[in-house]
């Protein structure tokens, strides 16, 4: 289990995102990283539970060699070794043994929709593609790995709601979502106890332009 967070702001807010990341540090207690991307004004934070590749090269956020695509990923891709071999045959060079880099290069080779037909696993991930100026937020079919987002005062996304509410200036209760959570243990699919915080639905991806 790992955790990640991202939002659009100024570089001066690094201290704020570090505090927001600390709220979900239980998801990845092995190490953490916060970066600011000058091209997109995204502040990105990741806390890591090291499993596949424990090297520093595999630490996220992970970028391609051209620094045009950024990925943050939580989960496990069961067939990543086979996909890695296919990508090597297509002349991709790998600097890690991680399934995260397989997702990154797989996206570059096949595009998102075709990539999703090839991977087998449990996952939530976010790709920031600077070439097309889009953010892609993806969740596995069964919703095993969480992914929340808000468009309140700019895009924010995280593995847990508490980071988003911390970063948001104002949040209002979603009465129906709160009641559903109270009695069933979960909100209605796609909603949360907060009006301006949503979840990426299981088996779906969202594109933020």
For residue 179, give the 3-state DSSP assignment. helix
Q: Write down the catalytic residue from 2, 17, 136, 138.
A: 2
For residue 167, give the 3-state DSSP assignment. helix
Beta bridge partners of residue 194, listed in sequence order: 173
Cα within 13 Å of Cα(184), Cβ side: 12
Dihedral sign computed on CA atoms, order 174, 136, 122, 203: positive
Residue 87, token pair as written in the block: 């990508």
Contact indicator for 7, 140 with CB cutoff of 8 Å = no
- Residue 121 φ then ψ, to 5°: 170, -170
Between CA 128 and CA 136 the distance in angstroms is: 6
Catalytic status, residue 47: no
Reported as type and span, the H/E element at residue 132 is: none
Reported as type and span, the H/E element at residue 101 is: helix 99-118
Any idea which residues carry the catalytic annotation?
2
């Amino acid at each position: 289990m790992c955790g990640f967070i991202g939002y659009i702001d100024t570089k001066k807010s690094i201290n704020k995102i570090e505090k927001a990341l600390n709220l979900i540090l239980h998801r990845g207690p092995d190490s953490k990283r916060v970066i600011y991307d000058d091209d997109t004004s995204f502040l990105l934070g990741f806390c890591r539970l090291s499993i596949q590749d424990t090297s520093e090269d595999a630490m996220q956020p992970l970028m391609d060699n051209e620094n045009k695509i950024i990925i943050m990923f939580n989960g496990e891709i069961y067939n990543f070794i086979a996909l890695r071999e296919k990508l090597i045959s297509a002349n991709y060079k790998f600097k890690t043994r991680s399934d995260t880099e397989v997702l990154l290069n797989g996206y570059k080779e096949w595009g998102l929709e075709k990539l999703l037909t090839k991977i087998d696993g449990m996952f939530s991930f976010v790709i920031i593609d600077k070439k097309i100026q889009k953010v892609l937020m993806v969740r596995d079919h069964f919703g095993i790995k969480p992914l929340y987002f808000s468009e309140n005062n700019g895009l924010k996304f995280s593995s847990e709601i508490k980071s988003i509410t911390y970063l948001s200036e104002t949040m209002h209760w979603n009465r129906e979502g709160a009641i559903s959570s109270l009695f069933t243990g979960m909100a209605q699919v796609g909603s949360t106890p907060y009006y301006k915080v949503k979840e990426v639905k299981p088996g779906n991806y969202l594109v933020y332009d």
